[in-house]
Amino acid sequence: MHRLIVSSLLGLTLFLAACGSDGDGSGCPESGGNGMLQVSVTGLPGSTSAGVKVQGRGGTQTLTGSQTLSLPAGAYSLSQELVAASHPLVRTAYRPEISPSSPVCVREGKTTEATVAFFPIPSSGKLWTSNGSGGTAPLLGFAADLLGASGNPAATVAATTGGSEGSAFDHDGNLWVVGGTTADPPVLRIPASSLGASGKKTADVTLTGGPLEGGFPRARALAFDPNGNLWVTVGFNDKIVRYTPDQLATSGSPTPAVELTSLKGPSGLAFDSAGNLWVAFTGDDRVARYNASRLTTSSNASPDLVLQAETPPPVIGDLSAPSGLAFDAAGNLWVNYNGTLARLTPADQSGSGTVTTTPAVQIGLSVTALPDGLVFDESGNLWLALSAGKFGRLGPGQLTSSGNKAPEVIISSADVGYAGWFSLYPAPANLPLFHRLP
């Protein structure tokens, strides 16, 4: 018998091994004649293309849906990655299951059947927010269809977790969160399979010990780099630490693979398309860049670029206390400076040393707004927290100029105390995020 081989490399890919016997010990004979391979694709919305790869004696073909192929007799493999259905705000992602689990053997003059069945990933298709100071649960998910216009919807998922602060999705839709109190693990993973319904959630992986514990505030924000390493800002010891994919596979107290030290109040994190790490230093009123080449070894050296942002004339002052960071599709870095949203263009992001800059776009919000984390959706809307019980979005057109602006969509929900950090799965394909999907 041959095994169903399962692997995941920047996506979930399942393979039906195509070598040796066909499951009954008689082998899979090759011949000059053809047979038929009937592939049935199920579970996807009608407008979504599957992209099933069939590889063997007939070369490699990609099927967009159910199809019957005439192929030279022999063994074939089928592979399929995660698929995301279209939506203007947050897409739903689907994982594939391929059957049968034995090798696919195409025999001369006969028809072999295989099925690729898709199932929605429960954490997808929602906007997630941490929820502090009241509300129904510390983690809330709002289905994409509730977010198209202002309203008062109940949360689709109200999740009781051991974490309620910074968050980041991995490529498979598992949500990594920061522990909300000292009684919680500093970093924990909530499996995607548990995020389809409300209730108490049990972490399947926790990270403890080492630089994550020993003071307060502990971990603050999370971000995955392009290679699947998880980066964590730790407030009390002014560090940023990196954990490898292998260290994230099981619970424990691993020694970070990399530590960046001698920092001042690190908070939000973001990676640009070149793999450079950007950090918001709340305690130093600065935003900084560590070049990708610097991220393989521990260091207490200064960042490669430090940006001090100022307000424009006639009253010039420092923009202070940066926290949430997010890149848009054009490569602009958006920074939440204590309620003022500033756009740092690719030109602003270039250079080295310490630079003072005046962002060309600076957006003010209501004085009652308390934004923290930032996230862009499929249409380029920027989501953020507002006042108690509310969060909302600025539309793309609102992000092109400075001024005081009211979000074009405001969600007021009785489930929300104070929204904080936001995340969604999957990330749009045009953003430099590890959990993006085509």
Residue 214, pLDDT score: 86
pLDDT of residue 25: 34
HSE value, Cβ hemisphere, 13 Å, CA-based, for 346: 7
Residue corresponding to tokens 């598992």: 174
| DSSP reduced 3-state for 420 | strand
Output the six-digit token pair for 100.
């049968």
- Residue pair 160/422 in contact (Cβ under 8 Å)? The answer is no
Whole-prediction pTM: 0.91
Q: What is the pLDDT of residues 223-237, one digit of tens each?
A: 999 999 999 999 889
pLDDT-derived band at 102, boundaries 50, 70, 90: low
Per-residue buried b or exposed e for 340-379, using 16+ beta carbons within 10 Å of the residue's own CB: bbbbbeeebbeeeeeeebebebbbebeeebbbbbbbbbbe
pLDDT of residue 77: 93
Identify the residue whose tokens are 């279209």.
86
In the structure encoding, which two tokens stand for residue 66, read together?
């159910």
Distance between start and end Cα atoms, the chain: 35
Over residues 35-73, the pLDDT tens digits come to 999 999 999 998 899 999 999 987 899 999 999 999 999
Residue with tokens 């292998």: 246
- How is residue 103 written in tokens? 């090798």
Please state which of the ranges 95-104, 109-118, 239-248 shows the lowest mean pLDDT: 95-104
| Confidence at residue 3, expressed as pLDDT on a 0 to 100 scale | 30
- 27 burial via Cβ count (<10 Å: 0-12, 13-18, 19+): exposed
DSSP classification of residue 257? S
How many CB atoms are closer than 10 A to CB 25?
8
User: How far is 104 from 119, CA to CA, in rounded Å?
Assistant: 22
pLDDT band at 22 (very low <50, low <70, confident <90, very high): very low
Instruction: Please report which confidence band the pLDDT of residue 284 belongs to, taking 50, 70 and 90 as the band edges.
Output: very high
Confidence at residue 27, expressed as pLDDT on a 0 to 100 scale: 79
When pLDDT is averaged across residues 19-34 and rounded to a whole number, the result is: 64
CA angle at 362 for the pair 359 and 363, rounded to the nearest 5°: 165
Nearest to 273 by CA among 226, 334, 338, 318: 226
Six-digit token string for 347: 């030109």
Query: CA angle 431-432-435, nearest 5°?
Result: 85
Backbone angles phi and psi of 194, in degrees to 5: -95, 0
pLDDT at 112: 96
Q: How far apart are CA 113 and CA 99, in angstroms?
A: 9
Q: Is the pLDDT of residue 110 over 80?
A: yes
Whole-number pLDDT of residue 157? 98
* pLDDT at residue 239, rounded to an integer: 96
* Burial tier of 133 (Cβ tally within 10 Å: 0-12, 13-18, 19+): exposed
Quick: pLDDT tens for 120-176.
Answer: 999 999 999 999 887 899 999 999 999 999 999 999 999 999 777 899 999 999 999
pLDDT at 432 over 80: yes
Q: How far apart are CA 368 and CA 345, in angstroms?
A: 28
Domains of the chain: 4-120 (2.60.40), 126-425 (2.130.10.10)
pLDDT tens-place string over residues 359-387: 999 999 998 999 999 999 999 999 999 99
Q: Is 232 helix (H, G, I), strand (E, B) or coil?
A: strand
| Structure confidence at residue 23 as a pLDDT band (50, 70, 90) | very low
Q: What are phi and psi of 37, to 5 degrees?
A: -115, 115
- Of the pLDDT bands very low, low, confident and very high (cuts 50, 70, 90), residue 338 is very high
Residue 103 one-letter amino acid: P
- Among candidate residues 127, 52, 117, 46, the one with its CA nearest the CA of residue 85: 46
Of 214 and 173, more confident: 173
Confidence class for position 10, pLDDT limits 50, 70, 90? very low
In tens, the pLDDT along 286-304 reads: 999 999 999 999 999 999 9
Buried b (16+ CB within 10 A) or exposed e, 386-424: bbebbbbbbeeebbeebeebebebbbbbebbbbbbbbbb
302 by DSSP, 3-state: which? coil
Q: What is the mean pLDDT of residues 339-358?
A: 97
Residue 269 contacts residue 277 (beta carbons within 8 Å): yes
Residue 1: Cβ within 10 Å count: 11
Whether the pLDDT of residue 4 is over 70: the answer is: no
CA dihedral for 72, 39, 425, 122, sign (positive or negative) = negative
For residues 304, 340, 263, 130, the Cα torsion angle rounded to the nearest 10 degrees is -120
pLDDT, mean over the chain? 91
